[in-house]
């Protein structure tokens, strides 16, 4: 399931990168104020997402891998970005896709890409969390109750 999730996230990225609106056209048929607000939001999402992913990978260190796995000396990481969301790399990757879509794609295709990638992310989270629950038991269960999976303040993806 984890690899299917990765594939679906890749399909979401492929949609955003290949189905583009014409260069130098607006995301929405609106005035300059909305254009500037979208551009500002896009920069905030993009930079924030990169920082989130880099911080999460740095926090995980040698425990990071593209596929869900548990090493013999694996520990449950709960600090850094993992104190805000349980899956900060997935959150950051979704943010990067949204940022790219705001810059280059159309609203319709960005929505399609987000839905496909969201489902892929959901599959990855389910797969990874089953492994973590098996490995860390009630410790992970308590962590899951305290920290949302993907979006701060929400528990509705898992």
pLDDT by residue (tens digit) across 29-72? 888 899 899 999 999 999 999 999 999 999 988 776 666 666 66
Q: What are the C-alpha distances in Å from 45 to residues 24, 26, 92, 102?
A: 20, 18, 9, 10
Residue 43 located in a structural domain: yes
Provide the CATH number for the domain around residue 133: 1.20.120.1630
Nearest Cα to Cα of residue 46 among 120, 124, 99, 117 = 99
Say which residue, 123 or 30, is predicted with more confidence: 123
Model confidence, pTM: 0.89
Residue at 155 is within a domain: no
> Has residue 158 been placed in a domain?
no
- Could you give the number of structural domains in the chain? 1
Kindly report, residue by residue over 80-117, the tens digit of the pLDDT.
999 999 999 999 999 999 999 999 999 999 999 999 99
152 in any annotated domain: no
Q: Name the H helices within the chain.
A: 2-18, 32-60, 88-104, 107-136, 138-146
> What pLDDT digit, counting tens, does each position of 2-26 carry?
789 989 999 999 999 999 999 888 8
Q: Which residues pair with 20 in a beta bridge?
A: 105
Measure the CA–CA gap between 60 and 97, rounded to whole angstroms.
22
**Residue 100 maps to a domain:** yes
Give the domain extent around 125. Answer: 2-146
Residue 11 within any structural domain of the chain? yes
Give the CA angle between residues 36, 121, 3 to the nearest 5°.
130
Residue 157 lies in a domain: no
Whether residue 2 contacts residue 68, with contact meaning beta carbons closer than 8 Å, is answered with yes
Residue 109 falls inside a structural domain = yes
């Amino acid at each position: 399931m984890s690899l299917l999730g990765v594939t679906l996230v890749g399909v979401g990225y492929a949609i955003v990168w290949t189905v583009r609106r014409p260069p130098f056209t607006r995301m929405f048929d609106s005035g300059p104020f909305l254009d500037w607000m979208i551009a500002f939001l896009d920069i905030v999402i993009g930079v924030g997402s990169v920082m989130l992913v880099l911080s999460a990978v740095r926090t995980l260190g040698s425990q990071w891998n593209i596929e869900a796995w548990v090493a013999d000396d694996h520990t449950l990481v709960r600090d850094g970005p993992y104190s805000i969301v349980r899956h900060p790399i997935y959150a950051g990757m979704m943010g990067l896709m949204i940022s790219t879509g705001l810059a280059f794609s159309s609203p319709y295709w960005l929505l399609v890409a987000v839905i496909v990638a969201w489902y892929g992310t959901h599959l990855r989270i389910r797969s990874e969390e089953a492994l973590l629950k098996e490995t860390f038991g009630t410790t992970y269960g308590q962590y899951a109750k305290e920290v949302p999976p993907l979006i701060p303040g929400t528990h509705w993806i898992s």
